[in-house]
Amino acid sequence: MASEKHSGSCFRTSIGGQALIEGILMRGPEQQAIVVRDKDGQLVEKVEKLRLIKDRYPILGWPLIRGTVNFLSSMVEGVKALMYSADFYPDEEPSEPSRLEQWMEKHISSKKLESLLIGFSVFLGVGLSLVLFLFLPTFLTGGLLHFFPDFPLWGRNLLEGLLKIVIFLAYLILCSKQKDIYRVFQYHGAEHKTIFCYERGLPLTVENVRDMPRHHPRCGTSFLFVVIFVSILFSSVVFGIWPITNVWLRTLVHLVLLPLVVGVTYEFIRWVGRHDNGLSRLLTAPGMWMQNFTTNEPEDGMIECAIRSLELVLPSQKGKDAW
């Protein structure tokens, strides 16, 4: 975790980012930037103006609602950025396109095909998360009742929550062991370090950024862990009042509660992002610890990429990005 030396910050920015394949996406209050290092070692930049859906539909920017909206928006933009960065590193042994691929290229425009792929990727990502962290624990504990029909409901709620945490931790550890993912997590570390350096008002140099901590309280890893923890609290209260044992009905209740869980988590992350005290550090400690698996110490070239992507999204008006 971050050392005591770096625990404070005189400015909190709303700028956030995402690690890509040999690159970084940074999102500021006005625009977002993708910076990728290509195979020739050159930095390739792509800057886009932000079009926020809450500007057209203000209700989507309300507390508790904006969490789910921002989460889905970040997923879509993140998948698009990943696809863009992957184009710089195609397969070394290209194969002949299948009949389905040939038909799709012939009958579907490239723009529509890209939208379909993005939509499918987001659907697959959300679906996999639901299966691993919601459906699987519910079905496993449901199967337990067949062997221990007198098992207390509070015990099932507790076991279901513990299974969610264990599966999430196992998933992070498994991902961190993958060679290609290791480099992505190095870029993730570079992103955090660069944001910390900017928040401390230091010049954005490789030397300054390298000395920053790589664990950040507003990290997506922390967000997902808090989602799981909040879902455990909510389901324990709901199932404590309304003792549901049927697996399918419990799963349905989990799904209904999910938007509220994400909304509460988002507001919590906003709160800890604005405060640095004993309580905030205590509440963020588990999520910060989880970042040991999703962030690695970056190389200097990765830090250069992060610095450039951050510079491209700095607001025209100083302080506009204040959290």
Question: In this structure, are residues 196 and 9 in contact, taking their beta carbons and an 8 Å threshold?
Answer: yes
321 belongs to a structural domain: no
Q: Is residue 115 part of a domain?
A: yes
Let me know if residue 172 belongs to a domain: yes
Q: Give the span between the Cα atoms of 213 and 199, in whole angstroms.
A: 12
In a domain? residue 53: yes
Q: Is residue 124 part of a domain?
A: yes
Measure the N-to-C terminal CA separation of the chain; round to a whole number of Å: 22
In a domain? residue 5: no
pLDDT in tens, 190-227: 999 999 999 999 999 999 999 999 998 888 888 888 99
Q: What are the tens digits of pLDDT across the range 138-162?
A: 988 888 777 777 788 888 888 988 9
The two tokens of residue 77 are 């933009």
Domain interval for residue 137: 17-89+103-313
Please tell me the least confidently modeled range out of 20-24, 87-91, 113-117.
113-117
Domain count across the chain: 1
Would you state the structure tokens that stand for residue 237, as one six-digit string?
A: 């209260």
pLDDT tens-digit readout, 233-263: 998 899 888 888 888 999 999 999 999 999 9
CA dist 12 and 15 (Å) reads 9
Q: How confident is the model at residue 76 (pLDDT cuts 50, 70, 90)?
A: confident
- C-beta atoms surrounding 12 within 10 Å: 17
* DSSP notation for 115-163: HHHHHHHHHHHHHHHHIIIIIHHHHHHHHHHHH-TT--HHHHHHHHHHH
pLDDT given at position 7: 44
- Provide the percentage of residues in the chain whose pLDDT is more than 70: 89
Instruction: Identify the pLDDT of residue 204.
Output: 96
pLDDT above 50 (res 5): no
113 token code pair: 């095909």
If pLDDT is split at 50, 70 and 90, which confidence band does 177 have? confident
pLDDT digits (tens, 9 = 90+) for 53-72: 877 888 888 888 998 998 88
C-beta separation of 113 from 128 below 8 A: no
Exposure string of 160-186, with b = 16+ CB inside 10 Å and e = fewer, is bbebbbebbeebbeeeeeeeebebbbb
Per-chain mean pLDDT for the chain: 85
| Residue 57 belongs to some domain of the structure | yes
Q: What are phi and psi of 13, to 5 degrees?
A: -100, 150
The amino acid that residue 275 corresponds to is: H
pLDDT value, residue 291: 92
Asked whether residue 74 carries a pLDDT value surpassing 90, the answer given is no
Q: Is residue 94 part of a domain?
A: no
Instruction: Pick the more confident residue, 192 or 281.
Output: 192
In this structure, how many other beta carbons lie within 10 angstroms of the beta carbon of residue 258? 17
- Mean pLDDT in residue range 78-92: 82
